[in-house]
Amino acid sequence: MKINQQIIEKIIREVLAKLADKPKLLLVYEGTKNTIKIEYLISKLQEYWQVKVFSTNDHDLQDQSDFQHLAFLDASQDLLVRGALGLTDTPGSNLLARALHQGCTVLFEPSEEMKWLVKQENAAGHERVNRYRAHFLHYKNQLIEFGVCFGGIESLHPSQLHYDRRVLTEKDIQNMETTEVRVSSKTIITSLARDAAKERGIQIRVDFEEQS
């Protein structure tokens, strides 16, 4: 069977175009790499993102700059505190500081050991525990003020953060499960996308701050 070279080249161009149109997500994990979990996350996330994966201890993080979104998997108490204080003495905290300085969207998925710390609820009858938790809630709230989101990475979707593709279409709106989508001032919004957003009650917010 003879393979049509033109068809192959057309398919390659289409694949590359779709890949280039996806926003870039840097997924950073702490501790020992959970290969099964990370492979599962990549399989879910790569529908919407170009995904790169690193460890917080990987010194190659210092060279990473070409990304729009940063997500920390199993983020630790140490990273939370360093980030809130603006410390940059580890590869992970240095990357976090650079991402916040560049205005990138950052998401923290708290580790199991840290989840109890960042909850707002009090432990009845344990005043010292509550004071300790309040101490770290202060750091968490500081990061939120800096633009860090806390949640699950598995549900990460561009519409929940920023929509960074060049064109926002009706199909994109129909696939979104959100009440608000933020787009760049350079994003082209089709008239059908606006109609679909109005019909579904989705607000389209345009970020104009990058214009000068």
- The neighbouring-strand residues paired with 106 are 70, 148
Could you read off the pLDDT of 80-89 as tens digits, one per residue? 999 999 999 9
Q: Give pTM, 2 decimals.
A: 0.66
> What number is the average pLDDT over the span 33-62?
84
Could you read off the pLDDT of 27-38 as tens digits, one per residue? 999 876 778 888
Range of the domain at 188: 158-207
Length in residues, the chain: 212
- Are 151 and 195 members of one domain? no
Residue with tokens 């289409």: 14
Nearest to 51, CA basis, from 30, 27, 73, 34? 27
Does the pLDDT of residue 93 top 90, yes or no? Answer: yes
In a domain, 212, yes or no: no
- Are 175 and 142 members of one domain? no
User: Residue 133 has what pLDDT?
Assistant: 85
186: burial class by Cβ within 10 Å (0-12, 13-18, 19+)? Answer: exposed
- Are 183 and 89 members of one domain? no
Domain count, the chain: 2
